Amino acid sequence: MTRIVDKRKNGKNRSAVNRRRFLQRYKQQIKRAVADAVSQRSITDIEQGERINIPTRDISEPTFRHGRGGRREIVHPGNEEFLPGDKIPRPKGGGAGGSGSGKASKDGEGVDEFAFELSKEEFMEFFFEDLELPNLVKRKLTAIKSPKSVRAGFTTDGSPNNINVIRSLRSALGRRIALGAPYRKRLREAQERLEALKRHPDPAPESIRELEDEIRRLRIKINAIPFLDPVDLRYNHRITVPQPSTQAVMFCLMDVSGSMDQLKKEIAKRFFILLYLFLTRNYERIDIVFLRHHTIAKEVDEHDFFYSRETGGTVVSSVLELMRDIVAERYDPEEWNIYAAQASDGDNWHDDSPRCRELLLQDILPKVQYFAYVEITPEHHQSLWYEYQEVAAACAHFAMQRIDGPGDIYPVFRELFKKQEQT
Amino acid sequence: MSRRPLATGSEWTFELIEAYDRELARLAAGHGLDTYPSQIEIISAEQMMDAYASVGMPVGYHHWSFGKRFLDVERRYKRGQMGLAYEIVINSDPCIAYLMEENSMMMQILVLAHAAYGHNSFFKNNYLFRQWTAADAIIDYLVFAKNYIARCEQKYGVEAVEEILDACHALMNHGVDRYKRPQRLSLRREQQRQRERAAHIQSQINELWRTLPQRPGERETDDEDRYPAEPQENLLYFVEKNAPLLEPWEREIVRIVRKLAQYFYPQRQTQVMNEGWATFWHYTLVNELYDEGLIGDGYMLEFLTSHTNVIAQPPYHAPHYHGINPYALGFAIFRDLKRICEAPDDEDRHWFPEIAGSDWHQTLDFAMRNFKDESFIRQYLSPKVIRDLKLFSVIDDDRERHLEIGAIHNEAGYREVRRALAEQYELGAQEPNIQVVHMDRRGDRSLTLRHQQYHRRPLEENDARRVLHHLARLWGFPVRLEVVDENGNVESLYDGSPP
């Protein structure tokens, strides 16, 4: 007796729970692996899933088993040259005469990395775990400018265009049933009595007439119940709730003066991309504004921002002024969450640095959620760094870090956006 | 007789599978194969990976280790490093066989013959399976286990349950009663008894650990002091019944894992036989289909390719050599048995006087029913198979500088090779022999295990420590492990306290 069943339509993700449990359990190791993976590859394809390696010894399940040593006799197939009693040198690595490599992993050799694939979502989750956007909470509370009307059940009064037909008719039906019930009961009884009388061999005409009259009266009463009554009416109820803004704009500010070589720009780019990916997880819509500057600042598109080269001196204040103007013109801080990241090698025209500090403190920082400054330089700090340090001391939502090389990008990013202790 | 093939294309349909199954059933019945009813389930590759991850259990409780297995299978499959098996068979009644939808029609026939007739009859008739597993109750029990563990997770938290499961899994291979016949499983009885059992065990344990002062005149003898009186090999059973601090639900989980260990226990000991038997039958049945003209030449070529791959045995020096292929060895032995029955030569008459020239159906049936890998090889590995596979044994003694060739496929070596190969499949050679020897009831309540060394083979120490750590978690008090070498010297390896 054989039964053939098609199970293909049944769920295929039976292992989903187990898979999640595994990821949960080895969170620490996976996070480390994710961080390694990020520092090693180009950040532009970071948004893909990732192959993750974690050391097998961390996740192996122990059992009582034999280790190496002692005496063992193992049978192998395919003898060609050996005779009994032959001595052969011990092969290196293998414990038992080149014994099956099937045994090798059991003996803890050979396989020392456990590799698996993370989906894109999982990867990003691990990637940005423990990070948060600074001041997100504060802004949610203050930015309740755009109220949104949402449904909130039904009410008994309202304007006619809000009448909910189904609800209204449903309560009308209920009312009609309730009000008509006593009449219908009497009607039923009268009809039964009438039937009985008619079947009687000797019907009494008066009684029949009386009953017929009553039936007629009851019918009229039932029909007199109004089909729709004002008390039946129900209206859709809507209330307005404040809606935190879910749009953000990210300003990328970069120094493209002669001192910023391609490597430094590449580092800056990676940093900006990280920031962008991070913001996309928090906001529905994100605008990016690319501003680059040498002695004068310019708004450019992405390609120009990263690839075109210009030389010249450096006046950082120019880009800050431009940002201030663009914010005033296009991004009302009441409606937009504004983030800015500035990358520079810190080489500024000396007299300009104090001006930058003033611009930041007075015009820019009051309007933005967060301003991060990264200085990409292996050398000593210059005047801009020291001026910015004063800004950082004065404002909690201004942060600065230095990046030496590509390996620093991710740690610095984490440092800038790590979860702040709630105080 | 010559009939038209039922199909020639590579696409399978349910009707065709059914039609071929009818033919296979007829042929199998002709050979006297005794099987459970089968349930063939067509599944997709993803579902096959799920089945892999849950070690073939059709219903499984949740545990991270299954997730780990799944990730591993998924990655290797997606990267093309491994193909999925064409089938997985579950030892249950009805016998469930999974067939992949990707298989061609020919492959479905092969798999059907292999699983639904080969493995199926093995499950039903081999003494180890008959004795150790209850095929009609396993699915119910798995459902019970899954629900019970899910309820525990809700009640006590996923982490608490996971900790117990981790510990139990570590001891799983030592959770089997090797010499006692286990009780049969039944879902209703299981649920019904579970509550009273929990209460009962708890009271028993309290009795065992009673610390009330003894009444005068009630002196204990040394014998009573020694508990257990005999060494206990089933560590999980011992823990379940005696661990002082386990909660009733923790005990139940220990029991569940123990029962599963028992269910899988025969499979570990009959790999060569089971695969050999199934391969022998798919080979025999498909050949008969061909002889009757029910499959054409194209199918037969495809079949032979697959079959040859399945029984390929690379020599020891090949780069992809992974030890002896159980399919190849099992198939070779069963086929040679048939040959010995049908066309014995002098050598066979000398080596196998009882079976040379006997009825091959009866002889193979007897062999399938009454042996496990170790005894099967000891009994039936013939000189011809040793010659064909060119088997030779290598002695690896860590006291010698060189490896030594023990025996080869010649007249003087046959018995030696056969003995060595059989011993290789002995459970003692595969798993360390570890037993509970003492439980200190009066003192620190510690538990002492003893490892009896086999050919001076040591335990893998790191792992052993971790397992003992798990055991200490279950036991709740210190756990010791002693190692006894061949001369009877005892040495203490580990002394661990619970976390």
pLDDT in tens, A104-124: 333 333 446 777 777 777 777
pLDDT in tens, A305-347: 777 667 677 888 888 899 999 988 888 887 778 888 888 887 7
d(CA A128, CA A34): 10
Contact list in B for residue A10 (CB cut-off 8 A) is: 43, 47
Burial of B490 (0-12, 13-18, 19+ CB in 10 A): exposed
Of A4, A59, A108, the CB nearest to B40: A4
Q: What is the widest separation between alpha-carbon atoms in chain A? A: 129
Q: Answer with the residue of higher pLDDT: B412 or A139.
A: B412
Does residue A300 have a pLDDT over 70? yes
pLDDT of residue B37: 93
pLDDT in tens, B389-442: 999 999 988 888 889 999 999 988 999 999 999 999 987 778 888 999 988 887
Looking up tokens 């009266």 gives: A217
DSSP for residue B404: E
DSSP for residue B174: G
Each domain of chain A, given as residue ranges in start order, spans: 160-236, 246-416
Element (H, E) at B434: strand B433-439
DSSP for residue B425: T
Chain-chain contact of B403 with A73 (C-beta, under 8 angstroms):
no
Question: Is the C-alpha dihedral spanning A187, A188, A194, A197 positive or negative?
Answer: negative
Tell me which chain A residue has its CA closest to the CA of residue B413: A84
d(CA B204, CA B243): 11
Chain-chain contact of B391 with A77 (C-beta, under 8 angstroms):
yes
Contact list in A for residue B417 (CB cut-off 8 A) is: 75
pLDDT winner (highest mean) among A255-264, A387-396, A405-414, B280-289: B280-289
Looking up tokens 């956007």 gives: A133
Q: Mean pLDDT throughout A185-206?
A: 84
pLDDT in tens, A158-192: 888 889 999 999 999 999 999 999 999 999 998 88
Domain A246-416 has CATH 3.90.1280.10: no
Asked which of A122-131, A223-232, B9-18 is least confident by mean pLDDT, the reply is: A122-131
Chain-chain contact of A80 with B322 (C-beta, under 8 angstroms):
no
Chain-chain contact of A70 with B457 (C-beta, under 8 angstroms):
yes
* Ramachandran angles phi, psi of B483, nearest 5°: -115, 125
Which of B334, B269, B237 minimizes the C-alpha distance to B129? B269
CA angle A65, A71, A77 (to 5 degrees): 90
What's the gap in Å between the CA of B183 and the closest CA on chain A?
A: 26
Tell me which chain A residue has its CA closest to the CA of residue B449: A64
Neighbouring-strand partners of residue B98: B41, B88
Of A71, A82, A86, the CB nearest to B455: A71
Residues B463, B468, B474, B480, Cα dihedral to 10°: 170
pLDDT of residue A101: 34
Q: What contacts B232, CB < 8 A, 6 or more positions away? A: B238, B435, B436
d(CA B279, CA B328): 9
Strands A297-300 and A285-293: antiparallel
Contact list in B for residue A68 (CB cut-off 8 A) is: 398, 458
Give yes or no for a cis peptide into B228 (omega within 30° of 0). Answer: yes
What is the interface size between A and B, counted as CB pairs within 8 Å?
279
The overall average pLDDT reported for chain A is 78
Contact list in B for residue A15 (CB cut-off 8 A) is: 49-50, 53-54, 66-67, 70
Amino acid occupying residue B364? L
Chain-chain contact of B67 with A23 (C-beta, under 8 angstroms):
yes
List of chain B residues with pLDDT < 70: 1-2, 80-86, 179-189, 193, 199, 201-225, 494-499
What's the gap in Å between the CA of B206 and the closest CA on chain A?
A: 30
Strands A370-376 and A71-76: unpaired
Residue B370 contacts residue B127 (beta carbons within 8 Å): yes
pLDDT of residue A68: 84
pLDDT of residue B344: 93
Chain-chain contact of B75 with A98 (C-beta, under 8 angstroms):
no
- Say yes or no: ipTM exceeds 0.90: no
Tell me which chain B residue has its CA closest to the CA of residue A4: B40
pLDDT of residue B170: 92
Q: Answer with the residue of higher pLDDT: B312 or A103.
A: B312
Of B21, B44, B71, the CB nearest to A22: B71
- Residue B231 vs residues B224, B226, B434: alpha-carbon distances, Å: 14, 10, 9
Query: How crowded is residue A324: how many other Cβ atoms within 10 Å of its Cβ?
Result: 16
Of A68, A77, A84, the CB nearest to B389: A77
d(CA A143, CA A244): 6
Tell me which chain B residue has its CA closest to the CA of residue A51: B75
